[in-house]
Amino acid sequence: MKKIGILTSGGDCSGMNAAIRSATRTALGHGVQVVGFRKGYAGLLKGDLLEMTTRDVAGILHRGGTFLQSARSEEFRTVLGREKAVRHLQDLGVEGLVVIGGDGSLNGALALHRMGVPVMGIPASIDNDIAYTDMALGVDTALNNIIYAVDCIKDTASSHDRAFVIEVMGRNSGYLASMSAIATGAEYAIIPEVECDIADLCNQLRMRYEEGRSNAIIILAEGAGRAQNIADNIKDAIGFETRVTVLGHYQRGGAPSVFDRLLGSRFGHAAVEHLLAGEKGKMVGLCCGEICLTSLETVVVSEKTQQDQLHDLSMILGI
């Protein structure tokens, strides 16, 4: 290969810059040219690109977000859009593509692979809902952001004898909620994968309340219900003064943690090495500490299955 492309697509997350930097420098080290497409597949469709030198990726390792920017492209979802993308890659002489993103982006990468483009995926989504990698990029930083915020809220919850329902992101995944509940000592985690009995939750909180524990933290995954409804239920059942905090996009930004810097660097390097070695249509992942490679066909039809155990642990420790 003489030239490869890199893009970041879907929701941004911390660690994407580390992956771009690493993929770029690995390719340049092999004498392979690199172009970065701006705003994900949208940049590929518009021909909005940047010829990347080693200096272009200097000074980005410690920055959150993605310096190539990201987007969710409607046009790329269409057959015509994808055909246009393939034509652009051919016209530019781009012989391989590294796609950094979440499940939607990896589905897009698979579509390009099926159309004959050699692609390599890098899992990046704070939701940690991508199978065949223990961790996706951005998850660790998001968790650190969440626990910082929850620790702050715990201070004020205890000062005022209040129950807080704190909504975290995750789309249909309860990973961030379960893990942050364990790491902050929250009383309860409500996640989409496990049905929540609100009456039972209120009973547990009432028992604690009667024992003199007069504040509580309930972490709610955004895909598992409405925070205000849950807070109202708790207030009505126990008389607890309740407040709701939605952490929102704060979770996604900020300087990447050491873990995400290292993971992005390892993923970027491995993705390019494998691409140059002739692998295609695959995703790099982290499996028991080692870099692993799985076909995108398998990744996109598989689900992560660890939520129940994590949720159970959060419940055992929370009460």
Q: Are the C-beta atoms of 300 and 110 separated by less than 8 Å?
A: yes
Under the binding rule (CB under 6 A), the answer on residue 169 touching ligand F6P is yes
| Residue, CB closest to ligand F6P | 169
Give, in degrees to the nearest 5, the angle at Cα 246 between 240 and 248. 170
Annotated binding site for ATP: 11, 72-73, 102-105
Tell me the closest approach of the beta carbon of residue 319 to ligand F6P, in angstroms.
Answer: 27
Beta carbon nearer to ligand F6P, 252 or 274:
252
Site for ligand F6P in 113-132 (CB under 6 A): 125-127
Min dist CB 169 to ligand F6P, Å, is 3
Site stretch for ligand F6P (CB under 6 A), options 143-151, 165-173, 182-190, 237-245: 165-173
Sheet of 119-123: strand order equals: 49-52, 33-37, 3-8, 96-101, 119-123, 282-287, 290-295
Check residue 166 for interaction with ligand F6P (CB under 6 A): no
| Of 155, 180, 158, residue with least CA distance to 170 | 180
The rounded distance, in Å, linking the Cα atoms of 276 and 30 is: 9
Phi-psi region at 291: left, alpha or beta (left = phi > 0; alpha = psi -120 to 50):
beta
Alpha-carbon gap, residue 137 to 214, rounded angstroms: 37
- Candidate list 39, 88, 154, 252; residue touching ligand F6P; CB under 6 A: 252
Considering only residues 11, 15, 108, 118, which one is a binding residue for ligand F6P as defined by CB under 6 A?
11
Residues 199-238 that bind ligand F6P (CB under 6 A): 222
* Integer Cα distance of 208 and 202 in angstroms: 10
Task: Supply the residues annotated as catalytic.
Answer: 127
Residue 121's DSSP bridge partners are: 99, 283
Q: How far is CA 124 from the centre of its chain?
A: 5
Two structure tokens written together for 80: 């015509």
171 is a contact residue toward ligand F6P (CB under 6 A): yes
Binding residues for Mg(2+), as ranges, are 103
Closest CB 203 distance from ligand F6P, rounded Å: 30
x-or-dash pattern for ligand F6P, window 74-103, by CB under 6 A? Answer: ----------------------------x-
**Which residues contact ligand F6P by CB under 6 A?**
11, 102, 125-127, 169-171, 222, 252
